[in-house]
Structure 1
Amino acid sequence: MIKNRLLVYNMRYAAGNGRRMNIPMPGSGYLRTNPAHLEKISQFVQQQKPDLVGLLEVDTGSKRTGNINQAEKIAKDLGHYSLYQCKYHEGSFTSRLPILNAQANAFIASNELHHPNFHYFNRGVKRLIIELETDEVCVFLVHLSLWYRHRQEQLWELHQLMKKIDKPVIIAGDFNTYWGSSELNLFKQATGLLSANKDSLPTFPSDKPRLELDFVLYEKPIQIDNFTVCDVQYSDHRPLVVDFSLNGV
């Protein structure tokens, strides 16, 4: 039986957390990063000893970070491989703006990454879907829309992508389910996916979590051996750590 550890984290560009994000004006904290936070995030990831890491809100080297590619830095610290892509679809207005054009999602893996697929949702601002196949499973990394209607349309598109995959599937990321995890009920019924977070533990905000926004969804024969929402406050989200295995593999 092959065992794997997956870590999923919306790291908020290592910009930090708390009231400083809204000083001197709301959201202005996104325009600056904190090297100390990035180092702490990297150290935390190293401590978890993951086989695969899915990162949301990664800066791939803008002026905000002093041109440091956060995905590559964490991968280098781990001695792992990385791949990343801008989360805004090619040709969009946001994909051409400084800083925004470096805002990405990323996979980091202990094994070399081959032939990833980058898809884009038809609706929403954040449209990127990263599809990564290992020898055993196919993992999709997503950051869904803030708008409910767009999220529902994006879930339908994910269902269509799943139909093309002949391996057990994991879908992980920030689902922005501000209306509650029940938003995913129809999607889970249609796909047969299950949540690794069986107790619906909240993941946001990181200091006093009350909402479950971050998910790892999986289908059988994948088996969840351990699931943890880590008490880490380097971002506004808490990271997820999932140990999984495949029966009969």
Structure 2
Amino acid sequence: MRLLLYNIRYGTGPNRFFLPCGGYLGDSTRNIEAISDFVASCEPDVAGLVEVDEGSFRTGHRNQAEQMAARLGHYHIYRSKYHAEGWTRFIPVMNKQGNAFLTRDSIEPVFHYFKRGMKKLIIELELENVVIFLVHLALQFRTRHQQLAELYNLVERTEKPVIVAGDFNALWGENEIDLFLGATRLTSANENRVPTFPSWKPRRHLDFILHSPEIHSVRFDVPQVELSDHLPLVWDFEVEPQRATP
């Protein structure tokens, strides 16, 4: 099976000069087509997309997840990354920002929300042999670690092998998640800790795919694609068959 993880920055392209709001409010229609072509070329079974626009003026009021799913012939699910009862639902553009899954098979997701932080969404996708959690963690260090504690509880309650994927915003380096890995017994698919941000000169490892020991890595790649400020992660894996309970 192939999993693609990509923070697409709402299709607005990279922000090479780190300008305030650098391009976030710009038109994304042309770049999202290039991103869609790239994702299609990867032929993923599942794509986890972070920073997706549901249909603001940036996209010509079109849902980017829906557009990309149509390009791939996949199913899709989108949800705002902010809580439905939060103040962000009243803010133009922000109320159209979220995360999404694209899959070959039909989707029946479960949505969870962190208690803390502005970006609260956790999408749980249960497949036949594995459960995938998609997240976008907080920028604030303390909040990020509170969210990891909540995520730990979700992982521990899951009976199938687990994948946790997303933009962890681990601004202080990979060591930020060592305790989380130790507690959950998960392993990073990015064994060589290849940096993923910024895309044009990667220095930081912000995007992670973590997995249970029963999941075996076949191939891992970080394509050098500068269509966003993050690089995508492409991972091929196999799930060890589960023994039947006597």
Q: Do they superpose with TM above 0.5?
A: yes
Structure 2: how far apart are the matches of 1:21 and 1:61?
Answer: 24
Structure 2: how far apart are the matches of 1:238 and 1:14?
Answer: 13
Contact 1:8 1:55 in 2 (8 A): yes
TM-score by length of 1: 0.95
TM-score by length of 2: 0.96
Structure 2: how far apart are the matches of 1:156 and 1:211?
Answer: 23
Aligned to 2:223: 230
Contact 2:28 2:58 in 1 (8 A): no
Please list every run of 5 or more consecutive structure 1 residues that lacks an aligned counterpart in the other structure.
none
Aligned to 2:88: 94
* Amino acid across the alignment from 2:30: A
Contact 2:123 2:135 in 1 (8 A): yes
Deviation sequence 1:134-185 (CA, Å, 0-9, x none): 0010000000000010110000000111122110000000000000010000
Structure 2: how far apart are the matches of 1:138 and 1:162?
Answer: 9
1:248 positional shift: 3.0
Moved over 2 A (4+): 18-22
Structure 1: how far apart are the matches of 2:141 and 2:27?
Answer: 29
Contact 2:48 2:166 in 1 (8 A): yes
Deviation sequence 1:70-101 (CA, Å, 0-9, x none): 00000000000000100001111112211111
Match of 2:187 among 175, 194, 197: 194
Structure 2: how far apart are the matches of 1:140 and 1:170?
Answer: 6
Match of 2:63 among 44, 62, 69: 69
Alignment of 1:204 with 2:204, yes or no, is no
* Amino acid across the alignment from 1:246: V
Aligned to 2:111: 118
Percent identical residues:
50
Report matched runs for 1:1-249 at 5 Å.
Answer: 4-19=1-16, 22=19, 26-114=20-108, 116-248=109-241
Structure 1: how far apart are the matches of 2:114 and 2:81?
Answer: 10
